[in-house]
Amino acid sequence: MGSPTMEEVAHFGHSLWLLALGALSALRRAARSYLDQRRPVPMEVLVRDRARRRAIERDLQFGLSRLRRALGMQFPTGVAVLVQQVITTDRQLAGCYQLARRPDGADLALIRLALRVDGSDLAMDEMLSVLAEQCIGLAVHQAGAGGVLIPIELEPARRHESAQLRPDPLRPIQTSSDGGARQTARAS
């Protein structure tokens, strides 16, 4: 066995260089992912009272951090949250999101949350539920499914519908030949 040729040394050096570049790239992606998970989602709460504004922002940021942990790498990117008193389209919504493209080509998803719907204040748990639905919808959209605006409505249960039960779909059907009388078979 002789000493390696210059061509073999160059090939080995090139392979080491590619391996180092791949490791550096993976390290950079991991660091960026870690930093992205630590960075809070940009949020504006349009409420005049400072204490209430901070409480809403704190609760929503906590919810977003839990959603980020639950969704992992599927958590939507390019998200900003705007909390406002009401969202009015053709009807009042509890929330929606709007998709846009920034001038630099990056995607932007603006999540809008309402504090009131049809004259009723939303509880924080309801707002967190709406936020979760929107983050899940955005994650699905960014994974390749389509959609532009996803409205989230919270309607109270209708009392007259809950009081009246629907007929059982598995009930026996009465025919005219048995006159409505059914015999039951008994096991002996």
Say how many domains are in the chain.
1
How far, in Å, CA of 116 to CA of 139, rounded?
Answer: 26
177 in a structural domain? no
73 in a structural domain? yes
pLDDT at residue 184 tops 50: no
Residues of the chain with pLDDT > 70, as a percent, come to 74
6 in a structural domain? no
pTM of the model: 0.60
pLDDT at residue 6 tops 60: yes
69 in a structural domain? yes
> In terms of residue numbers, what domain contains 65?
35-143
Strands 95-101 and 120-121: unpaired
User: pLDDT band at 169, cuts 50/70/90?
Assistant: low
How far, in Å, CA of 126 to CA of 51, rounded?
Answer: 20
Residue 142's Cβ-count burial label (10 Å; 0-12, 13-18, 19+) is: middle
State both tokens at 159: 């009392």
How far, in Å, CA of 122 to CA of 154, rounded?
Answer: 9
Nearest C-alpha neighbor of 83 from the set 136, 40, 42, 22: 42
Tell me the mean pLDDT in the region 82-95.
92
Q: Provide the residue type at 175 as one letter.
A: T
How far, in Å, CA of 55 to CA of 37, rounded?
Answer: 21
pLDDT in tens, 49-73: 999 999 999 999 999 999 998 988 8
Q: What is the DSSP letter of 179?
A: T
23 in a structural domain? no
168 in a structural domain? no
pLDDT at residue 181 tops 70: no
* 132 vs 29: which has the higher pLDDT: 132
119 in a structural domain? yes
How far, in Å, CA of 12 to CA of 178, rounded?
Answer: 91
90 in a structural domain? yes
